[in-house]
Every structure is written in structure tokens, then in C-alpha cells.
Structure 1
Amino acid sequence: MKYISTRGQAPALGFEDVLLTGLASDGGLYVPEYWPQFTLEEIATWRGLSYAELAEKIITPFVGEAIPQNDLRQILHDTYQGFDHSAVAPLTQLDSNQWVLELFHGPTLAFKDFALQLLGRLLDYLLARRSEKAVIVGATSGDTGSAAIEGCRHCDNVDIFILHPHQRVSEVQRRQMTTVVADNVHNLAVQGNFDDCQAMVKACFQQQDFLQSKARLVAVNSINWARIMAQVVYYFYAALAVGAPQRSVAFSVPTGNFGDIYAGYVARNMGLPISQLLVATNRNDILHRFMANNQYSKEDLSPTLSPSMDIMVSSNFERLLFDMYGRDGAAIDQLMTSFQQQGTLTVDSWRWELTRQLFDSCSVTDEETCQTIGDAYRNCQYKLDPHSAIGVRAAMTCQRDQQIPMITLATAHPVKFPEAVVRAGLSSPELPDSMADLYEREERYTVIENELADVQSYVAKYARPLN
């Protein structure tokens, strides 16, 4: 398997190099040269496999010969053994044909554990084989940071620097990052918003000379293909549990950066019968405005009760555009350059209409989010976090076919966002036993100006040498 850039100018790379590169040298994102294909008959034989066993089936074609099969099998086993539910990603039924896929049973109680627990192990494995060290510079709107830190805290060959918007993540999210005291973990609280953090991370990858060849720079955000690859698995897992591939399934996905729902798009391209992918957003709704009106444009960022989705520009959307334009890298390069200059883009109407055959979208207000949290508890005795509630609200509003199971991705445990739960009229969720002392733990982080030079200087100062 080779990987190509969405902008068409960077060299094609194998899995190992893509994992260790992140953003392509031409500013694009790496995607597989082709989509691995599974028949319905083959998918049907996977029913009953454990999560790790299923992950091996789906991930192996993307990895190819980069990692021996026995080693990959062990890495996957170790990755998901640390989750606190034996099913890893259990399904809960809300009503006759509405389901919630619980993706919060990992060590940081968010869906990003599925990819980042795996990514940390893959990085450490490959770096050890190459006798190298690496530096991760990542941005987070809340959950990516803690999941990345938890995935890399024990890595011998990785230093990790996570940028989060100062005072714009929940207290639980912040403390999950800043209470990890390890020599290779560095938390930077940037005096700006998430998009500022994300822009600086991208700039670091485009201007890596600030490290003066001191270390290899590796992406941990969802621009790294391995993140998407890992998330594809739970679409297959959930679909099999409700009767696929003998029947179609639909998914509602709370998303800001488009990575999680793009993984569903990949699963469909690989042969999983998905009839509808529903983009669920809060009032920072750039994705909804595109799906509803063919208008992808920047607007002012608004703080909400679902801060992990408070994103103005969706990094992974470029990967979908690449397929929309027939994998024409030059066209995407021109399109994204224009977007960077003008802050808006539209696509040819026929391309947009073709995309809408699969995708729908919904924007949900804070008031509607709280109402949905309250309704779910009154009707099912089930507490939703605000992001998952947005997905449920969208599912109940926009489900095309009531006969097709609709699965909402529950992306976080409600304890991470108690403000929304309390505002919905419910008691504040309790921390699980593993985090019972979270508010008493010592925090360690550095508040830093919203300046690229300051961030690069800090990383260069504290990163360990390459070898």
C-alpha cells in the first residue's frame, strides 16, 4: 500500500513513512492510493470476532508489510486490553431503531483513545526499530490532547508537546492533560482558540527547520492517517452488531474536524453497507453549511457547551474534497489556496449533489443539546455528554429511513462535561474510580503567547536529540 498527497506534489510513501510524517511536504494530507475492498460475504464471517481481532482484519491492508503480522496482532491486543469494557465499544439501545455506540471506555474517556492508544504503540515500535527519537506537536480542543498524552506517556522514543486554548477546554479535559507528570510530556496553554493552535501545528510541519535537525517531527492530530485508519474499525464493529452486512446501517457523528465521520466514509468505500452519514455540529457549523448549502466558509468562533467541536476550519475535509474532485491533486491545491486567501469555497453543483447522496447534516444549539440530554435521561435513564447529545438530536431529526438502524457515535463520557449535564437538570456525573482524585492531582503546564515563534522556541528548547 502506498499513500499519496491530496495536493498531488509530495512523493508517494509507504505506511511507515506516512505514520512518521503526518502532513505531506506540499501541505496536503496523505490518503491511500486505493481503498481496500471486502465483499459482503467476507464481512459476514467477522461477526463474533473480538474488537482487536476485527481491527487486525481491517487495518492489515493499510499497514501491508511495514509491520510483521504477529507484531501487529500483539500491538492491537495490547491497545484494546486497557479499555474498561470487555466489548471495548458496546452498543446501547435508545429506542426501537436508535442506538448509541459508546466510544468512551478508554483511559481518557473519549473516542480518541481508540486511535491514539494505537498510534503511541505504533510510533514507539517503529522508532525503536529505527533507533530514532521523535517529537509530537499537536493541537487539541480538549480530547485529543489527553488521549495523545496517555498514549505516549510511556513511550521511550517520543517527546510530546500539546497545545490547548487557554481557559477554553473543560476542567476535566485540562486536568487529564496537565496532571500527567512525565519527562516527555509538555502542555502549552495558548492564549488563543483551537484554530490558532491548529494553525501553529501546521506551520511547524511546514517550517521544521526550527528544530535544527534536532528531532523528527510527527503529527498526532487527525491529519495523521493512522488516526483515521484506527477509527474505521468501530464502524464495522457496530454495523456487524446490528445485522450488517445483510442490512444497511446509518451513522450520526458529532464532528468538528471531520476525521471521525471521514472514517465512516472510508468504511463505506471498503464495502460496509452504509446508507447515510449524518454530520452533527454545534453552532460552529462550517460542515453543516457546506452539506446543506454548498458553502464552506469561515465565521467567528463561538464558545459552546460542546467545546471539542468549537472548530472553525475542519482539517480532514480536504480528504473528502480530494475524492469529490476525482483525486485531482492540482485541483485541490488550487481550491485550498483559494480558501486560505478568501476564507470560503464552493464546489461544482454536481459534485455537491453527488456527495449529498450519502451525507446529511444538522446544526444543534446549546438549548437543544441540553433538552436532548434531559430527554434521554427521562426516557432511557441514560446520560449523554453534550457532543453525543448533538449526535442523538441530529439522528432523531434527520434519519432518512426509520427501518435502517441509526447508530450515534457517543464520543465522550458525560463526566468530562458536567456543565451541560447540570444545565439539563441532572446531577453532575461522578468521576470513575480510576480518576477519583483528579481534582487533587498536581497540574503542570505553561501559559504561552499566541505566537508561532514562542511555541517553536519552547519545543526546540525541550525536545530531546534525534539519536
Structure 2
Amino acid sequence: MKYVSTRGGVPPVGFAEAVRMGLADDGGLLVPDALPQLSPDTLRDWSRLRFQDLALELMTPFVGDELSRSDLADLIERSYASFTAPEVTPVVEVGSRWVLELFHGPTAAFKDVALQFLGNLFEYLLVRDGGELNIVGATSGDTGSAAIAGVRGKDRIRIFVLFPKGRVSPIQERQMTTVLDANVHNIALRGSFDDAQRLVKTLFRDLALKRECHLAAVNSINWARILAQVVYYFYAWARVTDGNPDRAISFSVPTGNFGDIFAGFLAKRMGLPVDRLILATNRNDILTRFVETGVYETGPVHATLSPAMDIQVASNFERYLYFLVGQDPDRVRCLFDALSRHGRLIVTEAEQARVKSDFAAMAVDDDATLSQIRETFTASGYILDPHTAIGVRAGGDRRDLVCLATAHPAKFNEVVHRAIGREAPPPASLRGLMERPIRSIELGADIDAVRDFLRETLER
């Protein structure tokens, strides 16, 4: 399998090169040139597999012969050995719906599922092929800590994480800044997540700098992130349906950067029986508005109780748009040129109809988020974090509904306490965080300042 850019400006590359490249050199995102199509018999057979073995089967066609099957299996086993749940991503019944718990990794967030794998994959490729990597990423809360946990202390790898100062939860910030390994560098940016993401993309578009500094990406612009997230859609479907290929289910997905729900979209394209993908946003509702109107128009970023979703420009939206317009890179370039010039892009009526067939969408405000946490706890004793609560609210009363639980509620105990008058018991990985020493640097949202810090640090 080869990988091509959504903007058509780079020759097809293999899996390892796609992982190293992160953002395509033409500014687009890398996608597979074809998707495997899975038969009902394959779905039935795979439904009996444990999570790690399912991941091996799903990833193999995307990896091809660039890693041996035994090496890939070893990477997967090591990546999920640190998860506290034997099932890795258990599915639990909460009232009339199912909750897919994605927070049993080392940083108690869904990003661990992909970033434990990506960190080990980076290390494997460096040992095999030589060289070094300097990872640069932007985070709205959970990506940074999960990426740091995936690569801290690893030889030949350094990581630089940009997070919006004062716009992540106290625990999320401490999960990053209390990691004092010499290869970890945290940058508190005076700005929004969109500012951080824009700066990271600007660094990667500077091809001379990218090569000089051996830059690599851990944000969901990296294809390996999406690949790892596809797995838990198949796993959840198998647990709810007992592997019956005639039974489709729906997924409600708290959505900010579009990577998680795009993984669900790919799973459906590969043959997973999915009824509806429900795109759940907070007040930053650019994606909900796009589903409803066919217009993708940026606006100000609002601070909410669900900070990981306080995003206007969703990176993985470009990957979806590529499939929406018939895998036409010229059309993708034209649409993003319009977005760059005018702050919005518009698809055709026929394309908007396809969007509505792919997704349902709902924006959920802070009051409704608090109400949902309260209602779920009162009815079942189950505590939702604010992001998961948005997914539950958007899912409504649909039957055979799986809601993705993207973070442990203890990561947002200030919000939880507001909703139910008590805090969620923290997992072991979060205990004592607020008492540990911290290290970070504060910078303005200025590309020169970030570039200079990167170069100076690497020179030291």
C-alpha cells in the first residue's frame, strides 16, 4: 500500500516514510491510496480476537512488507502493555447505551491508544534505519501528555509540545510539565490551540528546516495516529454485536480536530456495519455548522468546559474532504485556497448531501454538558468527563449507540464537582501530580520565537 497527499504534490510513499513525513511536503495530509474491503466472514472471524490481535490484523495491510508481521506484533504488544484494563478499550453498558472507555492508558486519555504505538514505532524505525527525530506537536490538552508519555526517555528522540497557556485543565498541564526527562520540552503559548497548530504546520511547511532539524509530527496529521484509532471502532462493534455482520451500530464522537471521527469514517468505508456517526461539538461548532450547511467557516475560539475541543481549524477535516470530493487533489487545493483567502470554503449541494449521509451533528453548550454529567450520574452512578458528556448528549436515545469516552473524568474534576458535587476518584497515574516540580517555557504565538527556541535547544 502506498500513501498519497490530499493535495497531490508529492510522489506516493510507503508506510515508514509516511510516518516520518507527518505533514506531507506539499502541505497536505497523507492518506492510503486504497482501503481494504472486509467481508462479513472476516468481520465475524475478527470479532473473537483480543484487542492486540485485532490491531495486528487491521494494521497489516496498511503497513505492508515494511515491517515483518512478528515485529509489528511485538510493537503492538509493547504499546498496550501499560494499559490498566486487560481489554485495553473496554466497552461498558451505561443505562440504555454503551460507553467505549478509551482512558485506561498512562495519561488517562484516548490519545494514549495511538501515541503509545506511535512512540514505539518511531523508536523502532530509528533503531532499524538510523537517524534522529525531533517531534513537534500542538495540543489542546491530551495529545501533549500522551505524546510525551510515548517518547519520554527514548534515545534519538526529542519532543517539543506547544500548548495554549491557561486553556488546558490544571491536571492536563501538570501531566506535561512535570515530566522532567532531558528529551522533553514544553512551551506554554500565549494564544489559542489554533495558534499552536498553525505554528506547528508553519514549521513543517519550511522544508529546509524540516530536513535540517529532522522534524516529525505526533499530532493527528500523522497517519499512524489515525490507523491506531480505527482499531477500537471494530473492537467496540464486536463487543456490542457479538460479531453479527448484519447488525449495525452508531457511534457518538466528541469532536475537535476530527481525527477520532475520521477513524470511524474509515472503518465504515472498510466495511464495518455502522449506522450513524454522530459528530458532537461544543460551542466551537464549525464542524456542526459544516454538516448542517455545507459551509466551513472559521470564527473566534471560545473557552469552554471541554477545552480539548476548543478548536476552529480541524486538521483532519482535510482528509475527509479529500474523500468527499472524489479523491481529487486539485479540488482540495482550490477549497483550501478559498479557506486561506476568505476564511471559509463551500461544497456543492450534492457534496453536502453526502456529508449528511456520512454524519449527524450536534453542538452542546456548557449548561447542557453539566446537565448530562448530572443526569448520567443520577441515573447510573457513572461519571462522565465533559467531553464524553457532549458525546452522550448528542447521541440522544438512539438504540445500539456507542459513545466514545475520551478522557477519565478525574482529569476534569473541577467540572465534575460543579455538576454532581463530588469528584471522580483519580487513577493511579494522576495521583500526586499537583505536588511535583514542573518545567516549561512561555512564548508568544510567534513563529520566529518558536523557531529560535527549537534551534537553540537543539544546538545545546
- Output the TM-score relative to the length of structure 2: 0.98
The structural deviation recorded for 1:10 is: 1.4
Aligned to 2:26: 26
**2:254 matches 1:259:** no
The one-letter code sitting in structure 2 at the alignment partner of 1:322 is Y
1:157 maps to 156
**Counterpart Cα distance in 1 of 2:345 and 2:62:** 31
Identical aligned residues as a percent: 47
User: Counterpart in 2 of 1:241?
Assistant: 239
Hey, what's the Cα distance between the residues in 2 that align with 1:10 and 1:209?
16
1:191 touches 1:448 (CA, 8 Å); kept in 2? yes
Q: Secondary structure at the match of 1:181?
A: coil
Who is 1:54 aligned against?
Answer: 54
Give the superposed CA RMSD: 1.2
Counterpart of 1:9 in structure 2 is 9
Give matches, 1:321-400, under 5 Å: 321-396=321-396, 399=398
Output one character per residue of 1:133-167: Cα deviation in whole Å (capped at 9) or x when no partner: 01111000000000000001032121100000011
Distance 1:194 1:172 in 2: 17
Q: Distance in 2 between matches of 1:449 and 1:441?
A: 26
Q: Tell me the secondary structure at the aligned position of residue 76 of structure 1.
A: helix
Q: Distance in 2 between matches of 1:14 and 1:215?
A: 22
Match of 2:450 among 436, 451, 455: 455
- Following the alignment from structure 1 to structure 2, what is the Cα–Cα distance between the partners of residues 42 and 35? 15
Contact 1:179 / 1:442 at 8 angstroms: preserved in 2?
yes
Q: 1:228 aligns with which of 226, 229, 245?
A: 226
Find the aligned partners of 1:26 and 1:359 in 2 and give their Cα distance. 29
Superposition deviation, residue 208 in structure 1: 3.9
**1:52-88 deviation digits (Å, cap 9, x = unpaired):** 1010010111101111110100110111111001111
What CA distance in whole angstroms lies between the structure 2 residues aligned with 1:252 and 1:432? 25
C-alpha displacement of 1:464: 6.6
Q: What is the Cα deviation at residue 311 of structure 1?
A: 0.1
> For residues 458 and 389 of structure 2, what CA distance do their matches in structure 1 show?
39
For the residue of structure 2 that corresponds to 1:278, the secondary structure is: strand
Query: Could you tell me how far apart the structure 1 residues matched to 2:72 and 2:144 are?
Result: 25
CA offset at residue 304 of structure 1?
A: 0.1
Aligned partner of 2:432: which letter? Answer: D
**1:236-279 CA distances to partner (integer Å, 9 max, x unpaired)?**
00000011423001100001110000000010111101110000
- Which amino acid in the other structure matches residue 233 of structure 2? Y
Q: Is residue 2:194 matched to residue 1:195?
A: yes
Which whole-Å CA distance do the structure 1 matches of 2:429 and 2:205 have between them?
39
3-state SS of paired residue (2:357):
coil
8 Å Cα contact 1:101-1:410 kept in structure 2: yes
> Partner of 2:347: helix, strand, or coil?
coil
Deviations 1:3-37 (A, max 9, x none): 00001111111000000001111111000000011
1:174 Cα deviation after fit: 0.2
Structure 1 equivalent of residue 169 of structure 2: 170
Which residue in the other structure is 1:445 paired with? Answer: 440
Match of 2:85 in 1: 85
Work out the CA distance in 2 between the residues paired with 1:226 and 1:115.
7
| Deviation by residue 1:327-346 (Cα, 9 ceiling, x = unmatched) | 11011001101101101111
Asked if 2 retains the 8 angstrom alpha-carbon contact of 1:361 and 1:394, the reply is yes
Q: Distance in 1 between matches of 2:160 and 2:223?
A: 19
Deviations 1:285-334 (A, max 9, x none): 00000011212101111100000000011110111111111111011001
Find the residue that maps to 1:272 and give its secondary structure.
Answer: coil
- Whichever residue aligns with residue 225 of structure 1, its letter is W
* Structure 2: distance between partners of 1:264 and 1:426: 34
Residues 378-425 of structure 1: CA deviation (Å, up to 9, x unaligned): 00100000000000000016x4xx3xx110000000111112111113
Moved more, 274-283 or 422-431: 422-431
Q: Tell me the TM-score normalised to structure 1 length.
A: 0.96
Contact 2:153 2:182 in 1 (8 A): no
One-letter amino acid of the counterpart of residue 111, structure 2: K
Do 1:214 and 1:463's aligned partners in 2 also have CA atoms closer than 8 Å? no
Show the counterpart of 2:426.
431
Q: Which residue of 1 aligns with 2:129?
A: 130
Q: Tell me, in whole angstroms, the C-alpha distance in 1 between the residues paired with 2:459 and 2:233.
A: 38
- Provide the rounded CA distance (Å) in 1 between the counterparts of 2:446 and 2:201: 13
d(CA) in 2 for partners of 1:11 and 1:455? 30
**Greater mean deviation of Cα atoms: 125-134 or 196-205:** 125-134
Q: Does 1:422 align with 2:417?
A: yes
The CA deviation at 1:103 is 0.3
Q: 2:118 maps to which residue? A: 119
User: For 1:216, which of 214, 239, 251 is the aligned residue?
Assistant: 214
Q: For residue 368 of structure 2, give the secondary structure of its aligned residue in structure 1.
A: helix
2:335 touches 2:346 (CA, 8 Å); kept in 1?
Answer: no
Return the offset for 1:48: 2.5
- Whether the 8 Å CA contact 2:254–2:279 is kept in 1: the answer is yes
Task: State the Cα distance separating 1:356 from its structure 2 match.
Answer: 1.1
Conserved 8 A contact 2:95-2:379 = no
Aligned length, in residue pairs? 458
TM-fit CA distance, 1:214: 4.1
| Offset of residue 215 of structure 1 | 3.1
TM-superposed deviation, 1:365:
0.5
Query: Unpaired segments of 5 or more residues in structure 2?
Result: none
Structure 1, unmatched stretches of 5+, are none
How many angstroms apart in 1 are the aligned matches of 2:106 and 2:296? 35
Distance across 2 between alignment mates of 1:247 and 1:203: 44
Q: Secondary structure at the match of 1:302?
A: coil
What whole-Å deviation, never above 9, does each CA across 1:72-125 have from its counterpart, x for those lacking one? Answer: 0011011111100111111111223x1110000000000000000000000010
- Aligned partners of 2:165 and 2:425: how far apart in 1? 25
User: SS state of the match for residue 45, structure 1?
Assistant: helix
User: What amino acid is the match of 1:443?
Assistant: I
In structure 1, how many angstroms separate the alpha carbons of the residues matched to 2:250 and 2:39? 19
- Give the secondary-structure state (helix, strand or coil) at the position aligned to 1:132: coil
Residue type of the partner of 1:216? H
1:313 equivalenced with 2:308 (yes/no): no
Cα distance in 1, alignment partners of residues 32 and 212 from structure 2: 30
Contact 2:102 2:404 (C-alpha < 8 Å) held by counterparts: yes
